[in-house]
């Protein structure tokens, strides 16, 4: 959001939303959080003072703060009770990535025995997607850089591919589901790597990939899905239950205090983070 590292077709709308010359509508970044309810409005029914919660704030952002006001119910944000078995830091990294991973794998109707490949498995969405796929009984191939391979193995990946050494689309393997978290897998090669009724999920698509995906879905037995997740409280509660029962474990690379926010952003921009980076307020 800050540096407009979004698909080309989203750059102008994003820039117009935050205001062209300098950010005015959004002045505080951060899209997910965990904390303690300080006070509630008179019409709030699900929460009370002292409740431990975690949340995704939606497109208005604003999570990098000591205090934030959120609605109990909203089409954009989502708020739920924090898993009691986790720390606030562990819970804070889950909402956005968890909702996205859950959304895409549900769209693919993933089930036991499916062969699933996740490109970008070592990031925030990818680490949860690997664990969700294993929860459903799938065989998971994780694609990422050299330094992340041991980590993705540790969270359940059955096979790993180092994209700095090998192109997974040239291995001659086929999959029921390919989830491209970063949106950089070769389109034609990915389609060839799908089984006849396979599903190609693109979490960060370009306009060209969206158009090609529509054509592929209309003219073949293979399906391409690019629609991102909505915000549903029931989904966040479901993810919380999976964490509570040990089916999902949040992956944290580093912690930074709020005062070192700029350093945290610089580290993430290097592209080597494993899972998530946490800001501690």
CATH class of 8-94+231-280: alpha beta
Strands 78-81, 52-56: parallel, antiparallel or unpaired by DSSP?
Answer: antiparallel
Per CATH, 8-94+231-280 and 98-225 having the same topology is answered: no
Strands 175-180, 115-119: parallel, antiparallel or unpaired by DSSP?
Answer: parallel
pTM for the complete prediction? Answer: 0.92
**Listed range (2-6, 139-143, 154-158, 218-222) with the worst mean pLDDT:** 2-6
pLDDT single digits (tens) 85-116: 999 999 999 999 999 999 999 999 999 999 99
The domain made up of 98-225 is a member of CATH 3.40.50.720: yes
pLDDT at 3 over 90: no
Residue 183 backbone dihedrals phi, psi, to 5 degrees: 75, 20
Show me where the domains of the chain are located: 8-94+231-280, 98-225
């Amino acid at each position: 959001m800050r540096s407009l590292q979004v698909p080309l077709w989203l750059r102008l709308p994003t820039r117009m939303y935050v205001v062209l010359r300098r950010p005015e509508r959004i002045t505080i970044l951060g899209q997910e959080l965990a904390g303690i309810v300080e006070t509630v409005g008179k019409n709030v029914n699900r929460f009370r003072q002292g409740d431990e919660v975690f949340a995704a704030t939606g497109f208005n952002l604003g999570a990098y703060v000591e205090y934030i006001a959120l609605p109990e119910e909203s089409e954009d944000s989502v708020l739920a009770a924090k898993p009691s078995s986790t720390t606030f830091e562990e819970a804070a990294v889950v909402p956005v990535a968890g909702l996205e991973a859950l959304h895409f794998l549900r769209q693919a109707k993933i089930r036991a025995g499916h062969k699933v490949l996740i490109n970008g498995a070592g990031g925030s969405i990818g680490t949860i997607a690997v664990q969700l796929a294993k929860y459903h009984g799938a065989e998971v191939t994780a694609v990422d850089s050299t330094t992340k391979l041991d980590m993705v193995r540790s969270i359940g990946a059955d096979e790993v591919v180092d994209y700095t050494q090998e192109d997974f689309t040239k291995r001659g393997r086929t999959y029921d589901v390919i989830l491209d978290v970063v949106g950089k897998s070769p389109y034609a090669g990915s389609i060839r790597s799908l089984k006849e009724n396979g599903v190609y999920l693109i979490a960060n698509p370009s306009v060209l990939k969206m158009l090609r995906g529509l054509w592929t879905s209309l003219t073949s037995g293979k399906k391409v899905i690019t629609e991102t997740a909505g915000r549903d409280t029931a989904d966040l509660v479901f993810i919380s239950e999976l964490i509570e029962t040990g089916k999902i474990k949040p992956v944290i690379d580093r912690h930074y205090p709020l005062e070192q926010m700029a350093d945290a952003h610089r580290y993430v921009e290097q592209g080597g983070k494993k899972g998530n980076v946490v800001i501690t307020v």
